[in-house]
Structure 1
Amino acid sequence: MTEPLMSVDDVAARLGLHPRTVRRYIRDGELDAQKIGKSYRITASALQRLTGIADAGPRPARRHIEASNIIEIEGVSRDDAIRITNAVVAASNGQRADDPAFRVETMYDEARERLKVVCLGSLNSNIAMLRLIELYSGGA
């Protein structure tokens, strides 16, 4: 039975390398590969010879889920808007370890007494922020 073949990109993803580095390994003879058309294919045994580590098979694809929310809170005084904004910004800054890309923007329309909060980031960060906003705004 023949071994399944991996592309240069597959090998690069498994090793955490740039595809150019994998191609350099092939060109320098450090990694055995078969050229098929214009691209290279690498077997698991060739990868094992390079790394010295037995392959545990294909890794499951890690999914990255992002969410964005726009929350509008009506009937908010200026002082309450400042209080909610301060809590949301402080919480988003503390969230950075788990979700460094998490962002929060707030806008207050004093004439309409409306606070708008925009959250961008992971699903878990958005859920936590929605709960915090509900707590601070007195929402049901």
Structure 2
Amino acid sequence: MADLLTVDQLAQMLDMHPRTIRRYIRDNQLKATKVGGEWRIRKEDAEMFIGSKVDELKSEAMNDIQGFIDGKDSEVEGKLQVCTVLDCYVENQEAVKISEIIMSYMNQPDPTRGKAKFQYFFDDTEKKGRYIIWGTPTFVGKVLSAVGESVQ
């Protein structure tokens, strides 16, 4: 079951609304199966889907980063806000593991997190995972430390 994602997990990873993910499933743009009445997406199918949407998602991510730099309203809350880009030159499987570490922090109840956001891309050509994380400095620091400890 660890290789299956829920609609909510994939939506959070892609910074999309779960209804959007369900629409992609309904329109046969994303493969999924019902398990116990809930949609589940295999990680391989999610990666294929993300790959087909990667240019659109990268463009949106760059716009979000530029908006952050320009001081436009952020979805992140609090007096202190951070947007960081982490590049990891690793194979795809290790990149997915790093993404899972970040997602576990995104899904944990943590008062230091506040409203946070996360996007992930993998570039096969460069063998590079790119992770964009928005949040409070304390929360982003915890996430970066956990990633740093996991990658040797």
TM-score by length of 2: 0.45
Greater strand share, structure number: 1
Q: Max radius of gyration: which structure?
A: 1
TM-score using structure 1 length = 0.49
If each structure's helix is expressed as a fraction of its own residues, which one has the higher value?
A: 2
